[in-house]
Amino acid sequence: MLADIAAIPVYLVEPSGVQAKVITGMLAKRGALNVRRFENAGEMLKVSELDPPGLVISALYLPDMQGTELVQRMRTDPALEHTPFVLISSETRPQVLDPVRQSGVCGILPKPFTETQLNTALRATMDYLDSDAALDVVEVDLSSIKVLVVDDSPSARRFMRRTMENLGICQFVEANNGVEAVAILTDTAFDLVITDYNMPEMDGKGLLDYIRNQSWQSSVPVLMVTSESNEGRLAAVEEAGVSGICDKPFEPRTVRALLGRILRTGQ
């Protein structure tokens, strides 16, 4: 990831000189050395007309507009509509952050944020930039992939299996909840875990925390399938290191994109 991020021009929109220095320093530690700072959104947008960024990182509250408006304006500009965007804000209210999420962002970092949180946002950015590769160009036997499907609804598990079987995957182990999944993960290796969020005994967040912090398979990709609408809970899942979140029921192209990334990078 360091080599990739080093090649990306990063535009940082941050009115505070002190904050900008801190953020630039943390980015440099991750390998992002091509960082250009702007004090307001209008200046950044004007420069972008001739020299588009590869990634925009912005504070929420700016002198001329909010970061919410900035990303929305980017999404209506053909030259910037696909540019990765990361928001930095101390805001936690869903009604404030939801418009940003709906605009399509690679991360929302708290202020202050940790190196781990920054790593997660940068990794999401690189994944987003690499999302166009098709699964069928990967020379891997899909029948060899082993998937753990965790959901308290048998119907939902059948739907997930059928979707993945259409992609050529045929090895599955099922669990009713996080507790059952933990027991299975103790002695069985998997290439992918697909789990629901809301489950009895142990929910998807609890399972994700176990995998990332206690399991010997801490790096296994985890796809969260959920109808959860609470933005705070979803943000916590993102920060915990989920590989992907999709609506329930999920679309085959969502799984297809995730599998393509897994097979190319092993992450």
Q: Which two tokens stand for residue 170?
A: 């045929």
Distance CA 155, CA 220 (A): 25
**Enclosing H/E stretch for 71:** helix 67-75
pTM for the whole structure: 0.56
CB 52 within 8 A of CB 11: no
Phi, psi at 97, each rounded to 5°: -85, -25
Q: What is the pLDDT of residues 207-266, one digit of tens each?
A: 999 999 999 998 888 888 775 566 666 677 777 778 777 766 555 566 667 777 666 655
Q: What is the pLDDT of residues 243-256, one digit of tens each?
A: 777 766 555 566 66
Is residue 134 very low, low, confident or very high in pLDDT (cuts 50, 70, 90)?
very low
Residue appearing with tokens 């967040």: 205
Map residue 2 onto helix, strand or coil.
Answer: helix
Taken in order of first residue, the domains within the chain and their CATH numbers are 2-129 (3.40.50.2300), 135-265 (3.40.50.2300)
Q: What is the pLDDT of residues 175-210, one digit of tens each?
A: 999 999 999 999 998 988 999 888 888 988 899 999
Report, as an integer, the average pLDDT of 142-168: 80
Candidates 256, 264, 242, 262; CA nearest to 164 is: 256
